[in-house]
Chains A and B, each alone.
Chain A
Amino acid sequence: MELHVAWLYDDLLELYGDRGNMSVLKMRCEKRGITLHIHQYSVGDQFDLTVMDMIFIGGGSDREQNIIYEDLLARRDDFVTAIENDVVVLLICGGYQLMGQYYKDLDGNMLKGLGIFDYYTESSRDRMVGYIGIDCEIDGRTFQLIGFENHGGKTKNVTQTLGKVFAGHGNNGEDGHEGVLYKNVFGTYLHGPLLTRNPELADVFIEKMVRRHHTDFMITPLDDTLELGAKQQVITELKSENK
């Protein structure tokens, strides 16, 4: 079995160790005898998103987001096609924001988004930084996801969120929700990197990718003692802080 993931702008949007998500997926695929081909694409490269099983975009600084902006905008139609074809799309922080209507920075400058979703993001002075935990439901199964958020942007008007915040800020620190979930699109502020402390989510992604080819695929569990140990460490801290 071979799977293909497009890792977009990895040379620019590479803050907060988001690259770790790719290492996690690759090894977890390997352990199931699946080869995950990771295609690193950047500004000006020729590539076709619609033939991928997964697309991944991480977070970057404002300067770096400006460099990739035009290139990303030109690929809007490919994104729409990929999303409708159930390609798994993981968008973190900046990547998540750019799929919405717009991003407004502190000086009031508007950066138009791809407009695939109705949400929009406005920068605020009180940066939302710290560990975050959310409860979410994916395909009828419930999960607790843990991460580290670090964003000044408040994202609002998300129709279908990824989960409910039980500790931390989430989309905007106001409505108690975090991220977006639409078809197989997962947009979120969770760094960490996300998949390193949430191996269950990594396996959901792998399952979804394989099922695009084999609808009856069931994933085999792995030994996740270390990953769940790391997760539990954070959950314990978050719960003791909330008391």
Chain B
Amino acid sequence: MKTLAIIAGKSAGYIGNKLGRGSSLPGMIARKIDRDLFHKIKLPQQTIVVTGTNGKTTTANMLRHVFETAGLSVVQNTKGANLLSGLLTTLIDATNLNGKVNADVVVLEVDEQTIPQFFKSVTPTHFVIHNFFRDQLDRYGEIDILIDKIEEVIDSKTKLVLNADDPLVYQIAFDTHRDALYYGVEQTKYSVLEMNQVREAKFCPNCNKKLVYDFFHYSQLGGYDCTCGFKKPVCQYSAHDVDLKKGTFIVAGTTYTIQYRNLYFIFNAMAVVAIAKEYGIDDETIQKGLSTFKIDDGRMETFTFGTHELLLNLVKNPTGVNQTLDFIKNEADERVAFMMTLNNLSADGQDTSWIWDADFEQLTQFPLEKFICSGIRAYDLAVRLKYAGIDEDKIMVIEDVAQALATLKETTSQPYLLSTYTALQKTRALLK
């Protein structure tokens, strides 16, 4: 039965590739034939699962790159297939007919809502929890419920690797009294003492009193410290002297350089440093891996666009928008033109109310030429911008993505493009 399911899965993968069809089909077919197949796949000694609301794809890709730089063979779900069928598809692809995965390390990026079900079948050696932000609430319900569910399913054999700066992540070790490996970022010159943007964990997850912070990085990430004893834990791997202009930070005396100069990227890199060090990879190899890492999947990706270079970034929740706008504000030194494609298909989240939790108000401080609203919910976005205080003459609604891009191309300003998930690949194809 197991072999049959694997063969069926592999054939479906082959046919699927020929037809250019979706990436989860083989896993779906294999699970139909053998529901228990997950259990029967023999994982290598090291399996790392990465979850979190933002940054899991980039972190997993970077982790793979560093492992490969160190000469290890890696199996990873690269197609963003992070739900059950997609995960199984990845593993089936990489197994021989006896169900053994041929690799030194497996790196799996898993959707946070899929974790409770996934951990019934797979016990990773390391479990990285990166952050929890509000995201796609109509599909997912509330963060508190999610955290409870995740706490229940973590096996005692799995080592937790946690972002110490996120109180919601730390809560998982605190509630379950478990040891963990912590990574984090110390106070930087970009830290703020007050955070006015919408964020989680305003109240202590342990005692419900107002959670006090020494500083904030962004959203609820930072140095929290409650009188009840709930405070940012000591990090085994901690970044200091962060310099976003140069893209550098220091961990235990070693300076690392990355090509993407914003803080959330440094958090991604810190998760990678923590794991790589745990696996005994030397500093020089990690340095090389981080500095040569590039993304090409619509996350901070640049394209030649008329006479300009255009920056494209995926945004899918308020924190993503805030971080992107922060980055642009620091970088842009001339007039800017924006386009954003807002879709609300099921992979985006049907409810667009999240745009009201994002800090579009800060656009009023940009030298803004125009903002083109595109996608299925273009009008929702236009209304949001209007009430953020942006001059209505600067707001354009062009629902069709290709037409909107053509209009953006006419600009003489520096162009920026934000896109929700389901519009991303179409947009990239149009830009190439």
Contacts and interface: CB of A to CB of B under 8 A. Distances in A.
A150 B138 contact: yes
A226 B357 contact: no
A27 B138 contact: no
B379 A129 contact: no
Main secondary structure of the interface of A (DSSP, over half): helix
A170 interface: no
B143 interface: yes
A76 interface: no
A63 B387 contact: no
B261 interface: no
A88 to B, nearest CB: 19
B203 A12 contact: yes
Interface residues of A, number: 35
Interface string B351-377: 111111100000000000000000011
Given A23-B387, A196-B384, A196-B387, A17 B356 contact: yes
Contact of B142 (A15, A223, A226): A15
A179 interface: no
Nearest to A148: B351
Contacts of B392: 223, 226
A63 B168 CA distance: 14
B397 A16 contact: no
Contact of B387 (A27, A150, A233): A27
A230 B356 contact: no
B294 interface: no
Nearest to B380: A230
B136 to A, nearest CB: 11
A20 B202 contact: no
A61 B387 contact: no
Nearest to B386: A226
Interface of A: 11-12, 14-20, 23-24, 27, 61-64, 67, 127, 129-131, 148, 150, 191-193, 196-197, 223, 226-227, 229-230, 232-233
Given A14-B357, A23-B356, 17 more contacts: A11-B202, A15-B142, A18-B353, A20-B356, A23-B387, A24-B387, A61-B143, A129-B138, A148-B351, A150-B137, A196-B356, A197-B380, A226-B382, A226-B392, A226-B395, A229-B397, A230-B380
Interface of B: 134, 137-138, 141-145, 198, 202-203, 208, 350-357, 376-377, 379-380, 382-384, 386-389, 392, 395, 397
